[in-house]
Amino acid sequence: MKDFYYILGVENSTDVNAIKEAHRKLSKKFHPDLNAGDAFFEQRFKDIQEAYETLVDAGRRRIYDTQYACLQQGGQKKPSAQEPFLNELEKKIFEYRNQCDSVRKQQTAFEAQRPTYAPAATFDLQRLVLQYKWSAGGSLIAVIFACFFSLAPSQTTIGLLLKMLSDGILLGAAVGVVVVLVALLLKK
């Protein structure tokens, strides 16, 4: 097991900001582009990156610190046959967790950009249009004129009144009934 604290040159109680600063300095010093072709610098840079990625991530650091404490107390444990598998499994878990975090951030950003709409209206728009149509004059005026000019309520007039009643347009129906009654009275 690599000593990531030693690689970065920090204490195991160091906070994340100090780890980031140590990583920045060592990355500049051992970067492969500055030391082209030297395998030592490439390996050292990879170790620095691995140490940084482990110690900056809270979950990974907690696991590493547990293993690190075991090493400090009782020395190196004997490697088991399962250890390579477990190390690979740990890496996969961290990769998937990072992918999930990335997707979660993208989803949050997407939802922040998505427009919000007003809640759906609580009234029945079709009924409102019918009420306007009946009471604002459309067919109601036709009922009134039919009653006055024929002075006899026809099947059409009665049909319109029944339609208004079935649609729940009580005001229009009431006015229509009054007009029909007036027409009947004038006829006598």
Task: Provide the mean pLDDT of the chain.
Answer: 72
Q: Would you say residue 120 lies in a domain?
A: no
- The pTM of this model reads 0.40
**For the segment 5-18, what is each residue's pLDDT rounded down to a tens digit?**
888 889 888 899 99
In the numeric block, which tokens belong to residue 93? 């878990």
pLDDT of residue 68: 80
Q: Are 48 and 29 spatial neighbours (Cβ–Cβ below 8 Å)?
A: no
Is the same domain home to 73 and 33? yes
If one compares 161 and 99, the residue with the highest pLDDT of the two is 99
CATH assignment of the domain containing 60: 1.10.287.110
Helix (H, G, I), strand (E, B) or coil at 126: helix
pLDDT of residue 156: 61
Is the same domain home to 13 and 69? yes
Is the same domain home to 87 and 136? no
In the numeric block, which tokens belong to residue 62? 């907690």
In whole angstroms, give the CA distance from residue 150 to residue 130: 26
Alpha helices in the chain (DSSP H): 4-8, 16-30, 39-56, 58-74, 83-113, 125-135, 138-150, 155-166, 170-187
Is the same domain home to 155 and 172? yes
Is the same domain home to 46 and 88? no
- Which amino acid is residue 31, in one-letter code? H
In whole angstroms, give the CA distance from residue 124 to residue 133: 14
Q: Would you say residue 119 lies in a domain?
A: no
The boundaries of the domain holding residue 109 are 79-114
**For the segment 106-146, what is each residue's pLDDT rounded down to a tens digit?**
888 888 887 776 655 444 445 555 555 555 455 555 555 55
Q: Are 113 and 144 spatial neighbours (Cβ–Cβ below 8 Å)?
A: no
Give the number of domains in the chain. 3
Is the same domain home to 55 and 92? no
Is the same domain home to 83 and 70? no
In whole angstroms, give the CA distance from residue 8 to residue 4: 6
Q: How would you write 128-153 as a 3-class SS string? A: HHHHHHHHCCHHHHHHHHHHHHHCCC
